[in-house]
Amino acid sequence: MTYFSNISNIKYEGSNSTNPYAFKFYNPEEKVGGKTMEDYLRFSVAYWHTFTEDLSDPFGAGTAVRPWDHYDGMDRAKARVDAAFELFEKLDVPYFCFHDVDIAPEGSHLRESNQNIDTIVAMMKDYMKDSKTKLLWNTVNNFTHPRFVHGAGSSNNADVFAYAAAKVKKGLEIGKELGAENYVFWGGREGYETLLNTDMKRELDHLSKFYHMAVAYAKEIGFDAQFLIEPKPKEPTTHQYDFDVASGYAFLQRYGLQNHFKFNIEANHATLAGHTFEHELRYARVNNILGSVDANQGHQLLGWDTDEFPTDLYATTLAMYEIIKNGGLGRGGLNFDAKVRRGSFEPEDLVHAHIAGMDSFAVGLKVAQKLIDDQVLDNVIEERYSSFDEGIGKEIEDGTTDFHKLEEHALNLDGIQNQSGRLEYIKATINQYLLKAYAGA
Ligand code: XLS
Ligand code: NI
Ligand code: NI
């Protein structure tokens, strides 16, 4: 059974192609900055949005037409695996990602859920023997089921803590089985709705114990994936403990976990936290904790996680700028934690969406590399901080001055001269680079 039979393998045809089923900018073999695009971008399909999502919203039923959903239960789960590996091959993507409940239905008991998972994992493993597509990361869903109403690792209920731990234990086992490069923790309900009934200190202590035990178990079974925390400030809880990279990093350091985790940064979570995507990437990069990326985008007018496929070239350029400066993503990748809109309900929309996202990041990669090659922003920044290259500035950086000497310096100043930040010029220059990329130059 095939599910995308009217669509052949998607190839690169160049920016003049009018074929909707072709890449216009993503050319996997093309080298940018010494690496192939495929190696740099490490695209991943998100199983949940692409094969499980029905496109329902709080006001309306699902609209998605998915031929694999004609089945029920485990038959449907198996059909989704067939559909998934067909699409991976057609898109030629190197990676995919999933939660436990995306791939197999939960049973009436944990034991049955685990059996269902084992059946699907065996099927995936079989497909992966002949497929180039590998597992970028897996995770477990410790937020949808009503048992997680008060959280998982931060729940007030110790039985729920144990249940959540058992699910992560299984997640680590199947991650190892399928050779996952990373393992993700997104704290969907690790937060609170109100402080009036919350012991914040106790919840944070518990959460740290949860993570420490996960680290210990991965070590025990020899699963050497990079652990990743995916910050999000809110939704579904009012306040989530992994609010953003900075607060997540403070938590890790406070509890001695900082050497075991990096961050999976999601564009739409960054904006929900009141940051730009590139802010979160930059903060992680300069602290050497940039692990992987959930590559989507939010809607400018909506205040929630709309998880749209990335099409904003300005955003992909600035994101790739950080990723290139980071030396790439290492074991991480660009995972499309993105879904088609409710009105885009046909299977072929899934293909258009991935082409759009992959092409947008390919443009971002090329433009960012050019900006770096030409040292456009490096020159601006170097010049802007040049007062710290010599004299009193150098003494500050070298730690060879103190408040006495700084006061003396200040008292002897004959006025202070600042220089323009030149923001408009910088933005116009970036536009120029983007437009040159459109022109294929
Ligand atoms: C939800 C998150 C979730 C994680 C994985 O907002 O983005 O999908 O990526 O649990
Ligand atoms: Ni999200
Ligand atoms: Ni995500």
Q: What is the pLDDT of residues 244-264, one digit of tens each?
A: 999 999 999 999 999 999 999
**What angle, rounded to 10 degrees, do the helices at 347-373 and 73-91 form?**
40
Instruction: Give 410 Cα–ligand 2 centroid separation in angstroms.
Output: 49
Tell me the per-residue pLDDT of 66-101, one tens digit each, with 9 for 90 and over. Answer: 999 999 999 999 999 999 999 999 999 999 999 999
Answer yes or no: is the C-beta of 230 below 6 A from any ligand 1 atom: yes
Cα-to-chain-centroid distance, residue 405: 46
**pLDDT value at position 273?**
98
* CB within 8 Å of 351: residues ≥ 6 apart: 4, 7, 10, 21, 87, 90, 91
Q: pLDDT grade, residue 438 (50/70/90)?
A: low
Per-residue pLDDT tens over the stretch 111-125: 999 999 999 999 999
**Ligand 1 centre distance from Cα of residue 73 (Å):** 23
Q: 294 alpha carbon to ligand 3 midpoint, in Å?
A: 5
Residue 437 is predicted with a pLDDT of 73
Q: Going by CA atoms, what residue is nearest to atom 6 of ligand 1?
A: 305
The number of the ligand nearest the C-alpha atom of 295 reads 3
Q: What is the CA(230)–ligand 3 centre distance, in A?
A: 7
Q: Which residues are annotated as a binding site for Mg(2+)?
A: 230, 266, 269, 294, 305, 307, 337
- DSSP run (H or E) holding 157: none
Which of ligand 1's atoms lies nearest the C-alpha of 48?
8
What are the residue ranges spanned by the domains of the chain?
11-374, 377-437
**pTM for the structure as a whole:** 0.97
Q: Binding site: which residues?
A: 230, 266, 269, 294, 305, 307, 337
Question: Which atom belonging to ligand 1 lies closest to the Cα atom of 186?
Answer: 10
Angle of helix 200-221 relative to helix 158-178, nearest 10 degrees, comes to 30
Quote the tokens at residue 343: 């009105």
Q: Is the CB of 232 under 6 A from ligand 1?
A: yes
Q: Which of 182, 186, 297 has the most ligand 1 atoms within 8 A of CB, as the residue to mutate?
A: 186
138 touches ligand 1 (CB under 6 Å): no
Q: Which residues are catalytic?
A: 99, 102
CB 190 near ligand 1, within 6 Å: no
Would the pLDDT of 439 be above 70? no
Give rounded-to-5 percent helix, strand, coil for the chain.
50, 10, 40
Helix residue ranges per DSSP H, 259-402: 267-272, 277-286, 313-325, 347-373, 376-384, 391-398
Q: What is the mean pLDDT of residues 164-185?
A: 98
**What mean pLDDT value characterizes the chain?**
97
C-alpha closest to that of 98 among 77, 71, 112: 77
Write the pLDDT tens digit of every residue in 299-344: 999 999 999 999 999 999 999 999 999 999 999 999 999 999 999 9
Domain boundaries 11-374, corresponding CATH code: 3.20.20.150
Count of C-beta atoms within a 10 Å radius of residue 419:
9
**Ligand located closest to 137 CA:** 1
Mean pLDDT of 167-187: 98
337 lines ligand 1 (CB under 6 A): yes
CA-nearest residue, atom 4 of ligand 1: 186
Question: Which residue's C-alpha comes closest to atom 2 of ligand 1?
Answer: 186
Our answer on whether the CB atom of 137 is closer than 6 Å to any ligand 1 atom is: no
Within 13 A of 33's CA, how many CA atoms are on the CB side? 25
24-52 tens-digit pLDDT: 999 999 999 999 999 999 999 999 999 99
CB 139 near ligand 1, within 6 Å: yes
The CA-based angle 304-141-76, given to 5 degrees, is 105
Give the pLDDT band of residue 440 (cuts 50, 70, 90): low
Question: Is pLDDT of 1 > 90?
Answer: no
Ligand 1 site-directed mutation target among 49, 97, 168, 232, most atoms within 8 Å of CB: 232
* For the CA of 294, the nearest atom of ligand 1: 9
C-alpha of residue 232 to centroid of ligand 1, in Å: 9
Give the closest residue (by CA) to ligand 1 atom 7: 337
> Which residue has the CA at smallest separation from atom 5 of ligand 1?
186
pLDDT in tens, 366-422: 999 999 999 999 999 999 999 999 999 999 999 999 999 999 999 999 999 999 999
- Distance between Cα 409 and ligand 3 center (Å): 50
Q: Which atom of ligand 1 is nearest to the CA of 141?
A: 10
Whether omega for the bond prior to residue 236 falls within 30 degrees of 0, making it cis, is yes
